[in-house]
Chains A and B, each alone.
Chain A
Amino acid sequence: MKIGRIVLLLAAAIVFEFFVGRSPYRSFLPVDWFLLATATVARSGNFVRAVATGAAAGVLEDAVSQPLIGLNAFAKAVIGYALTLVSVRVVFGGALAVGGALFVASLANEAIVALLSALLSQSPIVIVSPDALWRAAATGVAGGALESAWNFPWREWWNRRRLRRLR
């Protein structure tokens, strides 16, 4: 994946983060947009870019949401590497598989951040909470939906629709 696209992905993640965050429906859509961007890059199979994207996305996320910069950068760099490894070693696709992988990745992200936070800030460890599960589920569903939309044959669908109208 080209660097320009990665930058666009990160920008889109920021936009979505603020868009949903400002909305009154934010609690219904706690999607980890930065994780989605990292996973998208990881699917291309490029370890370096996946790790770099994860680190950059994590830094951005930390800057806007965490008291310590580096927590999510650490977690997302690891997750970027792991997801790239999975996408290289295992051939998988489909909305369900992608959604499931993102669900697990989001939970792992939460666990890593919780551990680091506990180590560095002496805060209590909360690895799995209802919020974390809800966030993971939302991220998984959003990822699955995006995967479905990405693989949908839009061109054929549009052509069929146009033909139907012409008849």
Chain B
Amino acid sequence: MRPQKPHAEIAAANPRRGGAVLVMVLVACVLVLSAQAQARGGRGTVLQSWILSATAPVAAAVGALSHGASNAVSSTLALFRAREENERLRRDLDARERELFRLRAEARQGAEEHRLLGAGASLPGVVGTVPILLIERRAGVQGALIGAGSADGVVAGSALAVPAGLVGRVVTVGRGVSRAQLLLDASAAAGARIARTGELGVVRGDGHGALILNNIATTSSVARGDLVESAGIDGIYPRGVPIGRVESVSRGSKLFLEIRVAPAADFSRLTDVLLLAPSLAAKESAEPGRNTAQ
């Protein structure tokens, strides 16, 4: 509600009086405009100059205030942008670090494969290198999971070795991974030969990280340090791959010696192994009823 001032209100709210004022104002405007229009192209009017001079401090002060506010807004926006950029750069850096890690791992893997293949040139029928994904040692079971399967040409019965010696054999083949039985497994066995004497026996794992050479007669001249290698008579392992060296010889039963063999391969440090071509017997046994776990 407007304040109650009857005379003044009625006079002010009178359109006629307002109209008169309007006409006066408009006439004044036209006169002022006409005067300026004649002087168009000149330096401008005194009135304009006065008004500009009067408003200059206000313009400067408000302009500075506005500039400060704009700067504050810009700084805030820049801060948010910097945060976003920081996040993006962090993600980028993480991705690059992962990539670097992957490349380094691949380089190491490549170098290891190169070393293995170079060193394993003396081994018979090397197909390629496969990574060891997992080694399990539990209740006499000594097995490993290898990162290659039927897609990579792995066949059940394929022998695994490192340049130092025999490791084991593939027992179950999947598409991308396979399971191998290590030579140290309590149920693993391989035909073996003492390199110096040429005597044949059977090497078995004892389930505790050592090997036992059986079926060597008490008449044998086997001695500590003799090299034991695969004999190639079991239809699984190729001939001539080192298995280990004789660690101790003792008289067991009446007929055979009890010979402990230290494995040639370092089973505690297996990372990659050489996949050897399966023997004909292993191939034939694998073909009809392939023991796979697809």
CB contact between A47 and one of B13, B55, B66 (< 8 Å): that residue: B13
The answer, yes or no, to whether A91 is at the interface (CB within 8 Å) is: no
A22 touches B32 (CB 8 A): no
CB of B40 within 8 A of chain A? yes
> Bound state CA distance, A24 and B34, in angstroms?
36
Q: Does B59 contact A (CB under 8 A)?
A: yes
A121 to B39, CA, bound (A): 11
Given contacts A47-B15, A51-B21, A51-B22, contact A120 B37 (CB under 8 A): yes
Shortest CB-to-CB span from B104 to chain A, Å, is 48
Q: Which residues of B contact A121 (CB under 8 A)?
A: 37, 40
CA distance A50 to B22 in the complex (A): 9
Encoded as 1 (CB less than 8 Å from any B CB) or 0, chain A from 73 to 92 comes to 11001100100110010000
**A68, B58: Cβ atoms closer than 8 Å:** no
Report how far A28 CA is from B265 CA in the complex, Å.
78
When each residue 42-83 of chain A gets 1 if its CB lies under 8 Å from chain B and 0 otherwise, what string results? 001111111110110011101110011111011001100100
Q: Roughly how many angstroms separate A131 CA and B13 CA in the complex, as a whole number?
A: 35
Cβ B59 vs Cβ A18 within 8 A: yes
Q: Which residues of A contact B51 (CB under 8 A)?
A: 59-60, 63-64, 69
Take A47-B19, A69-B32, A74-B30 as given contacts and tell me if A22 and B13 are in contact as well, using a CB distance cutoff of 8 Å: no
Contact present for B36 and A81 (CB under 8 Å): no
Interface membership of B281, Cβ < 8 A: no
- Could you tell me which residues of chain B, from 1 to 43, have a CB within 8 Å of some CB in chain A? 2, 12-15, 17-19, 21-22, 25-26, 28-30, 32-34, 36-37, 40
The residue that B25 contacts in the complex, of A45, A73, A84, with Cβ under 8 A, is A73
Of the four ranges (under 10, 10 to 19, 20 to 34, 35 or more), the interface on chain A belongs to: 35 or more
With a cutoff of 8 Å between Cβ atoms, the chain B residues found around residue A18 in the complex are 58-59, 62-63, 66
> Is residue B47 contacting chain A, with contact meaning CB distance below 8 A?
yes
Could you tell me if A23 and B69 are in contact, using CB atoms closer than 8 angstroms?
yes
Q: Which residues of chain A (91-106) have a CB below 8 Å from chain B?
A: none
Q: Quick check: B36 and A70 within 8 Å, CB to CB?
A: yes
For residue B52, CB closer than 8 A to chain A, the reply is yes
Check if B21 sits within 8 Å of A69, measured CB to CB.
Answer: no
By secondary structure, the A interface counts as helix
Tally A-B pairs: CB < 8 A.
Answer: 124
Specify which of B21, B40, B65, B70 is in contact with A52 (CB 8 Å cutoff). B21
Interface centre among A25, A63, A64 (most CB of B within 10 A): A63
Q: Could you tell me if A120 and B34 are in contact, using CB atoms closer than 8 angstroms?
A: yes
Known: A19-B65, A77-B29. A69 touches B22 (CB 8 A): no
A15 vs B17: C-alpha distance when bound (angstroms) = 32
Of A21, A22, A50, the residue contacting B18 (CB under 8 A) is A50
* Contact flag A69-B58 (CB < 8 Å), given A50-B18, A51-B18, A78-B26: no
Contacts of B45 in A (CB 8 A): 69
- Separation of A60 and B54 alpha carbons in the complex (Å): 10
Do residues B22 and A81 form an inter-chain contact, with CB atoms below 8 A? yes
> How far is A121 from B21 in the complex, measured between Cα atoms in Å?
26
Closest to A73 in B: B29
- Complex CA–CA separation, A25 to B66 (angstroms): 10
Contacts of B48 in A (CB 8 A): 62-63, 69
Chain B residues with Cβ under 8 A from A48's Cβ? 12, 17-18, 21
A48 to B70, CA, bound (A): 38
CB pairs A–B below 8 angstroms (10 shown):
A47-B17, A55-B25, A58-B29, A60-B51, A69-B33, A70-B28, A74-B30, A81-B18, A88-B13, A120-B37
